[in-house]
């Protein structure tokens, strides 16, 4: 029986062929692993990019105010570090509501806009609404800082001078108004007849008839503009505590007002509801 003959194949050829197949298989297997890694790659870190806005707080002279102040906001996304200093306000324990107003003309009221209130030319909150708009953020010292706390008199700075600092989250609307130049800071509470307290010389507040107009009328006002300052604030958004202020609020200084809270501006004007001292 003749011997069986097999074709002669060089070992090096087999090894090269096998190695090529192994290398190819490894390359193919590696492809699907590369895409998830790319998809999960973290985006560029944008933390620390802060924009600064400043406002010079001038007196609403039609309301017999002579005080002044300054405000600064350092904004990153929706996180805002807010500082306000002011002097020449109603003293004692008189509370001064402070707000960032939005969606108005981005300006403060002029003396020529004064109208008669209880026989005296002055400017109330509603008179100036077309100028500075609605309340976007309430600069409370603790707890809630939305428009629901717009007149939480027990959580605002009090006295003739204000030194306020708080880091908190602001709404998309407030952030957009700061960037577009339509955000305005207003400090409320005046002493029209210079007797050192809030009374009803100008009648009742249009916000709540149990409040004197002096307690809610605008005292200082300033429109925010972009600043070249670039100092970055420290710390994260405040969840309720940590604000600093001068003085102590006495709700009793607001004649008949108690702890009234301005809930917001609707089509028919401001609606008020009572609120306790605790923040949400």
Is the confidence at residue 114, as pLDDT, over 50? yes
91 domain residue, yes or no: yes
185 domain residue, yes or no: yes
59 domain residue, yes or no: yes
Q: What is the pLDDT of residue 11?
A: 46
Is the confidence at residue 142, as pLDDT, over 70? yes
103 domain residue, yes or no: yes
Count of structural domains within the chain: 1
More confident residue, 253 or 206: 206
Give the 3-state DSSP-derived string for the chain, with helices as H, strands as E and coil as C. Answer: CCCCCCCCCCHHHHHHHHHHHHHHHHHHHHHHHHHHHHHCCCCCCCCCCCEEEEEEEEECHHHCCCCEEEEEEEEECCEEEEEEEEECCCCCCCECCEEEEECCCCCCCCHHHCEEECCEEECCCCCCHHHHCEEEEECCCCCCCCHHHCCCHHHCCECCCEEEEEEEECCHHHHHHHHHCCCEEEEECCCCCCCCCCCCCCCECCCCCCCEHHHHCEEEEEECEEECCCCCCCCCCCCCCCCECCCCCCHHHCCCCCCEEEEEEECCEEEEEECCCCCC
Q: To the nearest whole number, what is the mean pLDDT of the chain?
A: 77
Question: What average pLDDT does this structure show over 165-184?
Answer: 98
**Can you tell me which residue has the tokens 């070992």?**
11
Q: How far apart are the first and last CA of the chain?
A: 102
CA distance 55 to 223: 5
230 domain residue, yes or no: yes
In tens, the pLDDT along 233-246 reads 444 444 343 455 54
**Closest alpha carbon to 226 in 51, 94, 1, 7:** 51
170 domain residue, yes or no: yes
- Residue-range definition of the domain harbouring residue 241: 51-274
* Cβ(153)–Cβ(91) below 8 Å: no
| Full-model pTM | 0.71
% of the chain residues with pLDDT over 70: 64
More confident residue, 152 or 240: 152
In tens, the pLDDT along 231-278 reads 544 444 443 434 555 444 444 444 433 333 343 333 333 333 333 333
**Closest alpha carbon to 80 in 246, 262, 232:** 232
Q: What is the pLDDT of residue 22?
A: 37
46 domain residue, yes or no: no
225 domain residue, yes or no: yes
CA distance 217 to 147: 17
């Amino acid at each position: 029986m003749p011997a069986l003959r097999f074709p002669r194949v060089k070992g090096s050829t087999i090894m090269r062929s096998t190695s090529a197949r192994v290398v190819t298989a490894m390359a193919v297997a590696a492809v699907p692993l590369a895409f998830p890694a790319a998809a999960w790659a973290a985006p560029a870190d944008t933390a620390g990019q802060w924009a600064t806005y400043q406002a010079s707080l001038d007196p609403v002279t039609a309301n017999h105010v002579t005080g002044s102040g300054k405000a600064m906001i350092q904004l990153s996304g929706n996180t805002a570090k807010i500082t306000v200093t002011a002097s020449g306000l109603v003293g004692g324990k008189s509370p001064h509501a402070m707000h960032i107003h939005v969606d108005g003309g981005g300006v403060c009221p002029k003396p020529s806009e004064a109208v008669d209130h209880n026989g005296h030319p002055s400017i109330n909150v509603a008179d100036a609404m077309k100028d500075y708009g609605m309340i976007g953020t309430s600069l409370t010292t603790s707890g809630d800082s939305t428009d629901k706390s717009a007149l939480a008199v027990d959580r605002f700075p009090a006295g003739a001078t204000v030194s306020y600092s708080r880091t908190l989250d602001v709404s998309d609307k407030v952030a957009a108004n700061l960037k577009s130049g339509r955000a305005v800071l207003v400090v409320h509470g005046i002493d029209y007849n210079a007797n050192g307290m809030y009374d009803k010389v100008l009648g009742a507040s249009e916000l709540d008839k149990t409040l004197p107009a002096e307690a809610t009328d605008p005292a200082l006002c300033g429109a925010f503009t972009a600043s070249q300052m670039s100092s970055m604030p420290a710390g994260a958004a405040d969840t309720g505590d940590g604000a600093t202020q001068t003085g102590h609020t006495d709700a009793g200084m607001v004649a008949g007002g108690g702890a009234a809270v301005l809930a917001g501006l609707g089509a028919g004007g401001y609606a008020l509801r009572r609120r306790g001292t605790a923040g949400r």
